[in-house]
């Protein structure tokens, strides 16, 4: 990567790169997914999202899905018994695929799908007739807003502005602490394994990151068959500070490894073993498990009571 995406113009370039990347990705068939080298990682990610939804969604909820992608979580929301769904994604191709998925299935809830950048839009205006939402979900997407402070603030402000008092936001993002630690443990500026790689630009050759500049810290991320575009670190202390500033509070944060070890102990979530993630005939590979360590889950709640 030859440049940082710190200014407003280059942030637009970064957003366009991300949008083009995900628009170009086509939906894989079941057979293709099953032979993917990261099939168990994808199942693990889906299990984590399913647990988050089971923990915090309630029957009858109105849902806002930020970075909804191709609609892979629609089935999870249908199982939760929600009554209305709004999905927003920056990639036009993903929205088209999400629409096709919604149209071809028999979901029990009405839905509205929007192509837009959650780090640029004013969602309190765009969704004025649908406010407030009971629950917001932002899965593997919020870090794309961290190219500038203004974009990060807009994304967090949008979450707060669309939630009802007492409403929750569930999400997953890269774990900045883990990524920085892995970078410092490697000799160069790139680390990874057979299924992923992270590459920082030469400007980070000293592997030092100023707390005064927590936005626009870019790296190139490749995940076999899924991701190949620039991403941004999200220092979690900065994230938590913004959450508080926008009238929300952190409920919990767990690295994926911690999340798995905690919730798989609970009987109601042990179906993980039956889908070949941990244990059983087909177990997640060490390389996939290393990728899982790069991510964390979080839950924040809008202050007040409904």
This prediction has a pTM of 0.90
Q: How far apart are CA 286 and CA 269, in angstroms?
A: 22
pLDDT (tens, 9 = 90+) of the chain, 306 residues, equals 333 444 455 666 677 667 665 666 555 554 555 567 799 999 999 999 999 999 999 999 999 999 999 999 999 999 999 999 999 999 999 999 999 999 999 899 999 999 999 999 999 999 999 999 999 999 999 999 999 999 999 999 999 999 999 999 999 999 999 999 999 999 999 999 999 999 999 999 999 998 889 999 999 999 998 889 999 999 999 999 999 999 999 999 999 999 998 998 888 776 655 445 555 555 789 999 999 999 999 999 999 876
- Please report, in angstroms and rounded to a whole number, the separation of the first and last CA atoms in the chain: 46
Asked if residue 261 lies in contact with residue 278, where contact means CB atoms within 8 angstroms, the answer is no
List phi, psi (to 5°) of 139.
Answer: -100, 120
Cβ–Cβ < 8 Å for 234, 174: yes
Give the pairing type, strands 248-255 and 295-302: antiparallel
- Give the pLDDT confidence score for residue 2 in this predicted structure: 36
Residue 94 lies inside a defined structural domain of this protein: yes
Q: Is 120 inside any structural domain? A: yes
Sign of the dihedral defined by the CA atoms of residues 155, 160, 161, 164, in that order? positive
The DSSP string of 82-141 is -SEEEEEES-HHHHHHHHHHHHHS--SS-EEEEE--TTTS-HHHHTTTTPPEEEEEEES-
What CATH number does residue 241 fall under?
Answer: 3.40.50.150
Q: How many domains does the chain have?
A: 1
**From the CB of residue 205, how many other CB atoms can be counted at a distance below 10 Å?**
10
Q: DSSP secondary-structure letter at 14?
A: H
**Residue 4: per-residue pLDDT:** 42
CA 124 – CA 157 distance, rounded (Å) = 9
Could you tell me if residue 82 is inside a domain?
yes
Pairing of strands 163-174, 133-139: parallel
Take residue 143 and report the two structure tokens written for it. Answer: 């870090």
What's CA 135's distance to the chain center, in Å?
Answer: 15
Enclosing domain of residue 109: 8-174+235-302
- State how far the Cα of 174 lies from the Cα of 233, in Å rounded to an integer: 7
What is the Cα–Cα distance from 44 to 288, expressed in whole angstroms?
10
């Amino acid at each position: 990567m030859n440049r940082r995406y710190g200014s407003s113009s280059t942030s637009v370039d970064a957003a366009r790169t991300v949008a083009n990347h995900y628009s170009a990705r086509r939906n894989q068939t079941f057979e293709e997914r099953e032979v993917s080298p990261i099939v168990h990682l994808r199942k693990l990610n889906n299990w984590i999202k399913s647990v988050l939804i089971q923990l915090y969604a309630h029957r009858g909820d109105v849902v806002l899905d930020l970075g909804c992608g191709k609609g892979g979580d629609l089935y999870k929301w249908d199982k939760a018994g929600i009554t209305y769904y709004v999905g927003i994604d920056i990639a036009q191709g993903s929205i088209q695929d999400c629409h096709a998925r919604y149209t071809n299935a028999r979901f029990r809830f009405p839905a509205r799908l929007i192509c837009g950048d959650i780090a640029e839009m004013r969602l309190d205006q765009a969704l004025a007739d649908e406010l407030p939402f009971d629950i917001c979900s932002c899965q593997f997407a919020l870090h794309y807003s961290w190219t500038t402070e203004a974009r990060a603030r807009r994304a967090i402000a949008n979450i707060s502005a669309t939630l009802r008092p007492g409403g929750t936001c569930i999400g997953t993002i890269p774990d900045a602490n883990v990524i920085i630690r892995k970078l410092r443990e490697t000799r160069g500026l790139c680390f990874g394994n057979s299924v992923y790689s992270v590459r920082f630009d030469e400007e980070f050759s000293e592997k030092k990151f100023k707390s005064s500049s927590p936005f626009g810290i870019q790296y190139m991320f490749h995940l076999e068959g899924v991701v190949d575009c620039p991403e941004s670190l999200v220092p979690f202390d900065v994230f938590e500070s913004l959450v508080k500033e926008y009238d929300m509070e952190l409920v919990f944060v767990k690295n994926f490894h911690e999340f798995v070890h905690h919730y798989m102990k609970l009987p109601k979530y042990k179906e993980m073993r039956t889908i070949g993630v941990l244990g059983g005939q087909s177990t997640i590979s060490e390389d996939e498990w290393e990728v899982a360590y790069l991510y964390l889950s979080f839950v924040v709640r809008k202050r007040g009571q409904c």
